Structure 1
C-alpha cells in the first residue's frame, strides 16, 4: 500500500466513486455488523452498477488489521486482496480531501487539526493533493505524539505544521478545521469556530458521546455527508439528521447546494461511503 498507492490516485478514485454513487452507478449499502463474542465483525460492500467489479471490506470493532477483497463481476475472479491498516485510513483521507476541496472557501489557507493519529495523518496526506495549506496547526493531548506527528507531516508531506499548546489555539481563526479523534466528549467549543470556516469531523457523533458539540452542528449553514444511508443507519442517537444533510456526491455533481457564500459555516460529517475502499483497492490491481 505505501509503495503503490499515491494520494492523487486515491483522491481521484474516491471522487469518481462519490459521483457514481450519486448517479446510482455504485451500489453502496450501509455497513453490516455481526456480533462475534466481545466485538462486532463489520462489513462494507460495494458494486459497480454496470457489473464490472464488486467487493467488500471487513474489520472488527476492537481494532487490528482490515481485509479488502475485489472481484471481477463478469468472470467471478478474485482480482485483489488487501490487508493491513493502510487502505482504510487513506480512503477516508481521500474522502476528506474531496470534501474540503468542495466546501472550503477558495482562499482557505490556514488549517487546524485536533488529533495526531493515523486518521489525522491520512487527512493531510490526501489534502495536500487538492489544497496546499500555508500553515497547519495541530493539537493532541499527548505531547510526545504531537511532536512526532508534526515532524512527520513536515518531513513527509512538506506542509508547514506547528504544534499548538491548546485545542483552542489550534482551531480558533482557522479557515479549515479537522477533528480526527476517538474522543466521546467535545474536543472543541462551538464559539471557537468562526463564520466562514469549514469543519470536517471524523470521530464519534452520537448523543451519548461526540467529539464535537451539538451546538456546532446546529450552527452549520450547510451539512454534508458522504452517505446519508450510513448516517441514517446509526439511528436517532446520531447527532447529524440525515434529512438535513446533503450528500457529497450531489454537491460534486452540482445538484445540491454546497458553500454559497464566504461567510457560511460548512460541516462535513464523514461516515465512510461503502464501496470506496473497493474503488481504491481496484486502482492497485494493474500496479501489482
Structure 2
C-alpha cells in the first residue's frame, strides 16, 4: 500500500463535511470511552517560536499519528497517520485546510448536540477560514435557514457572503455590527483573534447556542466572562486541554462538561429550549488523525 501525500486542494475537493463530522464524532466518543489516547500537546522551543505536536491513537481504528504546527513563521501544518496493526505510514496531509475543517466538524457536532432541534438561524462573528469551516460543517448536521456575518472589516463579510452563495449555495447576509449577527439567532459562532470581548453577553438571546473558537484565557478572550453567568451548560471537546492552559481559563473550568460524555448520554447537555449553551472549542488531540484517516479512505475508495 503506497503512502498518500495530500495537500490543501485534496482536502477541499475530496473531504466532504459529512465525512469530517462522522470522523470527529467517532473520535469524541472514543475519547470518552477511553479508546482514544490523546496526551497533552508537546511544545518544542525554537527561540522566537515553538513547534507544537498533538498526537492520538484510535484503538478501534488501529491508527495513530500526529499533527505538527508552528508559532514561529506560520508554516503549513502537517498530519501523519500510521496503522498500528502493521506500523506502515498510511498518509501525510500538509497545509492548513485539514485543521480548519476538523475544527469546523467539532463545532458542528457541538451544534448538533447542544442547539435546539430543527433548522437554525446562524450568526457568525468573523469572516475568516475558521468561520467558513464552521458554516461548511454545520450544514451537514442542520438545515441553515439564514446566516448573518459580521467582521471587523465590512468588505470581508461581504466577500464571505458572496463566496457562500457561490460555493455552498447558502444565502448569507453581511451585517454592519456584531450585535446584528448575534441577537435573535439560534446558533452563534465567534471566530476571531480578538484579545478583548467582541460582544456583550446580554446580546445572546435565551435558547441560543454559542461556539467560541478564539482566545479564551483571562488575559486574552473574545467572549466576556459574564457569558458564563448567563449560560446553563458549558461544553468543551477536551477537559484536559481546557484546564491545561498556562493562564487561567476565562470560563469556570469546574462547570465545563465533556462533549463526548454528552454524545454518549453519560452527561446532560441542553434540557430546556430556553437555555443558553456555550461550547468552548480547544481542538481535541487525535481528531486531526481521525479526519485525515477518513479522508485517506475516501481517496482510496474513489481511486
What does 1:105-144 correspond to in 2, within 5 Å?
Answer: 105-107=116-118, 109-144=120-155
In the TM superposition, 1:82-161 aligns within 5 A as 82-107=93-118, 109-161=120-172
The corresponding residue for 1:224 is 235
Q: Which stretch shows the higher mean deviation, 192-201 or 239-248?
A: 239-248
CA offsets 1:31-90 (integer angstroms, 9 cap, x no match): 221111211111110002357110000001242310000001121111100000110000
When structure 1 is superposed on structure 2, of 237-246 and 75-84 the one drifting more is: 237-246
- Contact 1:24–1:49 (CA<8 Å) still a contact in 2? no
Which residue among 44, 67, 70 is the counterpart of 1:60?
70
Shift of residue 246, structure 1, vs aligned partner: 0.8
Distance 2:252 2:49 in 1: 27
Q: State how far apart, in whole Å, the 1-side matches of 2:199 and 2:33 are.
A: 36
How far the C-alpha of 1:173 sits from its partner, in A, is: 1.3
Query: Per-residue CA shift, 1:206-251, capped at 9, x if unaligned?
Result: 1111000000122211000000000111145211333211111110
**Which has the higher mean CA deviation after the structures are superposed, 273-282 or 24-33?**
24-33
SS in 2 for 1:69: strand
Where does residue 16 of structure 2 map in the other structure? 6
Q: Superposed, which structure 2 residues align to 1:1-288 within 5 Å?
A: 1-50=11-60, 52-62=62-72, 63-107=74-118, 109-235=120-246, 237-286=248-297, 287-288=299-300
8 Å contact kept, 1:205–1:239: yes
**Shift, 1:177, TM fit:** 0.5
Partners of 1:64 and 1:115 lie apart in 2 by: 22
Once the two structures are superposed, residues 158-210 of structure 1 have per-residue CA deviations (whole angstroms, 9 ceiling, x without a partner) of 21210011111111111111000111111100110111111000000111110
Task: Give the conservation status (yes or no) of the 8 Å contact 2:115–2:187.
Answer: yes
Could you state the TM-score of these two structures normalised by the residue count of structure 2? 0.92
CA–CA distance in 2 between the matches of 1:242 and 1:227?
Answer: 11
Q: CA deviation at 1:94?
A: 0.2
Taking the aligned partners of 2:61 and 2:194, their CA distance within structure 1 comes to 40
**2:40 and 2:162 mapped to 1: Cα distance?**
37
How far does residue 284 in structure 1 lie from its aligned partner after superposition? 2.2
Is 1:51–1:74's contact at 8 Å kept on the other side of the alignment? no
In structure 2, stretches of 5+ residues that fail to align are 1-10
Contact 1:171–1:177 (8 Å) recurs in 2 = yes
Give 3-state SS (helix, strand or coil) of 2:241's partner: helix
Question: Structure 1 residue 107: deviation in Å?
Answer: 3.7
The runs of 5 or more residues in structure 1 that have no matched partner are none
How far does the alpha carbon of each residue in 1:114-171 deviate from its partner, in whole angstroms, 9 at most, with x for none? 0000000000000011112111000001122111111111211121210011111111
